[in-house]
Structure formats: structure tokens, C-alpha cells
Amino acid sequence: MTAATEATAPFAIQGSASSPGGLAAVLADGYGDKDRLLGRLRLPVDLGAAGSWRLWVRARWADSCGNSLDLAVDDGPAVTIGQDGVYGLWHWVDAGVFELPAGRRVVELREREDGVAVDQILVCPADIGYLPTGPILEGGREGAGLRRFADAFDRSPGHGNTGWGFDSEAWSIAFSLDPNRLPLQYALSVTPAASGWSRAWVDGPPWRGARLAASVRLESPSAQVALGLGEGAGAVGVVLGAGEGSEALPEGHFLRPAGVTLEPGQWYRVEVERWAWTLRVCLDGLEVARYDAVPTAEGGRPTLLAAGGAAVVVDDVAVVEIPWVAEDGADFQAAWSPEDGARWYRPRRSGGAWALAGVAGAVRLDTAPWPVREVVVTGVGKGARGAVVPGAVAEASDGGVRWRLGPEAAATALRLEAAAACRLRRVAVRLGPPEEPDDVIFGPYAFSAAEVPDLADY
């Protein structure tokens, strides 16, 4: 977005510290006109060839009443874009594929709801399968960003389920006036068959690592729910129930945490983190299970499963990417740099019992712009104990040591030191999102400073 972008009120071009170029087009909450819908943004795009082009819009939504725009090309028919549940964060919205001639085209964004902001539009060939996550920076390179998906199901059944895949018609959006059905009256519901698992998944390319969160409610003691990543033999996830379910675990590597049960008729917030060889499970904000040695690092699509022949209700699904790097002597190799005098080695042949060996000194791994949040080291025998991550807090892990780095210790490089001779089978590094400034928008005004002026002045 530039100062020269053609904007028709109530759209306005404003400063945005978190946007490339420092500008964004904003239709502030409360400033729309639903009777006239006159707001327009017109952006010229030069295409070198005719063909199928996919359009992406980098947007930030206020809430469920401010999460969509209409889009047209060259005054053609408009399509509605957005209506997703990612609020308060910049993210790329897929506007669809358009058959366009070569030359200068004009992309027009039209007012549909207020509480929306846009800072970039991307046009790319439809057949390359490109999936943007970060902002497009000078020179066409992509900045750091996380892939996100969210769905609050706050729509009637007739509005469809874009972004989802279901294995049967048993999955549907259900409505209830029962106040105990909160968090929302609309939710995704399924009553699976008496045997076997019914499956729903987030459409699109596979996720390499992700945190999948959902509010779930089991309507019967026999009901079971599973959350995971991937499908088939490569799937990894967790199964939860009221303790009376007897259905075999789904295909793949699904685990049932000991001593964790869900009471029928009660809402629970379940979070499943899946990255490298780690599976972490939280229930209502508390960690209830963690496994750092699951059999596969394969990712996949976020998946919900239900079994037990009784209804399972799901709401407020949110998925955010977890970036990571790893070294295992076979499928994964990291770009370590030895410090002066360091004595670290890789085996001559891949696929052996160890991936890295340290005798003295330290090696460094540059992860910029991503800060290091967590390191899981698995050794041969007790070998993991000899490897130290300075500034991190050590915890026992499955066959090794887990190192956690708080925000004050996180840096965009990892230093792994050989405090004693060590042979490491695996090193997995979870990365966090890079810090970026946030804009706080009040009415038509945008502030990026830590202190916001008195609103009474406006």
C-alpha cells in the first residue's frame, strides 16, 4: 500500500508500523456505511502474460463482524473474500483464481464491513502452488510470518464450510438455544457411527508443525475425540474421552494420556502442539501430557476425529504454524557453524546411531529472524547430558534433555556447547515468531508508540 493508492471514503490510508512501507488502508470499526457501501480501494497490477492468476490480500480483521471484503478485477463481478476467524493479526487471505489478460489490470476492494485493514495485494500464477505467510518485502522476497487458520463457526449451516474437508455428511454446523452450549450457539457437530472414526480436516497443503486448539464437548460417556496432524500411517495426535470409550486408536501414532478424562456435557479447551518428534497436550491451559520421542517427524493437515456413536461438538478451532529445524543424521540436517577451537563431528555415514558428537567447544546455529524457544536433545545412552544450551533452563525429556528459553533469553541463534563429551541422536529446535510492532487503531487514528495519547483529545 502506498500514499498514491486510490482510496474512497470511508477507507483511509494510514500509518502502520507493522506493514511493509509503513502504510495500510483502513476502514475503522464504526466508520462504515452499510446502507451505501461506497468505500473503494483501487490498485493497478501489471501482468506480463495472460493466464490463470491467484490473488492474495494481506488483511487484518477486527472481529466476526469485520472480517470480509468484496473484490473485483477490472470492474468485473465481485466475489466476497475473508470471513475467516483470524482476528487482530496480519494474514494472507486467498481471494481465488482469475482468468486475466496481459497488461494493466485494476484490482478493486469494496466495502462490505468495517473494522478491516489491508496493506498488500499479491498476484501470482495459479499453478505454482505458492502459499504466502509473511509480508512481501523490497525486492520481492518474503518476510517472516506464520501460517494461520481459525474458524469460530459463527454462521448458519447454509453458509457452507469453506476451508474444511469431511469424510461424511455426519459433520455439520448445529445451532442451539441452550445457554450451556456456550462458547457459541453455532458449533461444528458430528455423531459418528457406532464403530470407527469420523474425520474432519483443514483443507490445503500440509503443515510441517502446528498448534491445533479447539473447544470440545462430549455429549455421552461413550464419545471420544481426537486431535492431531497428518493422516494415515503418518498421523500423530491425542485421543481424549470420558473413560468409557473402547474404540481402537485411529490409524497412525495417536496417544491416550493416562488419567485424563473429559466429563460429558462440559466444554474443554484442548491444545495439541506437534513439531519435530514432540507432541504436547494442554487441557484448559494446563499441560497434561508431553512426548518428545514420537516415531515420526512427518507433518500433515490439522485433523479432528470422533468416535463412540455419540455426538461430539467442536468450536473455536485455531491453528498456528510452529517453525522448527532439526538434526537426526538421516532426514534432517542443520547448518551448524563451529566456534574457534570447537571439536564437533558428524558421522561419515547417515542413518547411524548418532547425528552429532561433541568433544569440546561449541557450535552455533543461525535461526534469524526466528528466535529460539526450545531445544530437545536426545543422546546415545547418557550422551545428551554433555550438551548444554547456555542461558536456557534444563528439564528431563524422553531419553534426553529439554532446554527452554524464555523471552529474555531467546535469540536468533542457538549455541550448543559440549560441557562433556557427548553423542547426540537428535537435536530438535522450536522457533518462535519474530517480534514486530503492533498498531493500535482507535476510530480513524493509528498509534504505534508504547503510550497512546488521551482519546478525549479526539
> Grid coordinates standing for 141?
522476497
Query: 422-458 pLDDT, tens per residue?
Result: 999 999 999 998 776 555 444 444 545 555 455 444 3
- Return the CATH number at 403: 2.60.120
In a shared domain, residues 317 and 333: no
> Grid coordinates standing for 286?
494446563
Q: What is the pLDDT of residue 456?
A: 46
Q: Hey, how many other C-beta atoms are within 10 angstroms of the C-beta on 303?
A: 24
Q: What is the pLDDT of residue 175?
A: 81
Half-sphere exposure of 47 (CA within 13 A, CB side): 24
- Return the CATH number at 30: 2.60.120.260
Weakly modelled stretches of the chain, pLDDT under 70: 3, 176-184, 243-246, 409, 436-458
Task: Indicate whether 125 belongs to any domain.
Answer: yes
For 54, the domain range is: 6-145
In a shared domain, residues 52 and 192: no
Q: What is the pLDDT of residue 361?
A: 97
In a shared domain, residues 135 and 12: yes
Q: What is the pLDDT of residue 243?
A: 66
- Return the CATH number at 182: 2.60.120.560
Q: What is the pLDDT of residue 137?
A: 94
In a shared domain, residues 301 and 329: no
Q: What is the pLDDT of residue 440?
A: 47
In a shared domain, residues 330 and 312: no
Q: What's the pTM value of the predicted model, to 2 decimals?
A: 0.90
Task: Indicate whether 196 belongs to any domain.
Answer: yes
Task: Indicate whether 437 belongs to any domain.
Answer: no
- b/e map 314-333, b = 16+ CB within 10 Å: bbbbbbbbbbbbbbbbeebe
In a shared domain, residues 40 and 138: yes
In a shared domain, residues 315 and 330: no
Structural domain count, the chain: 3
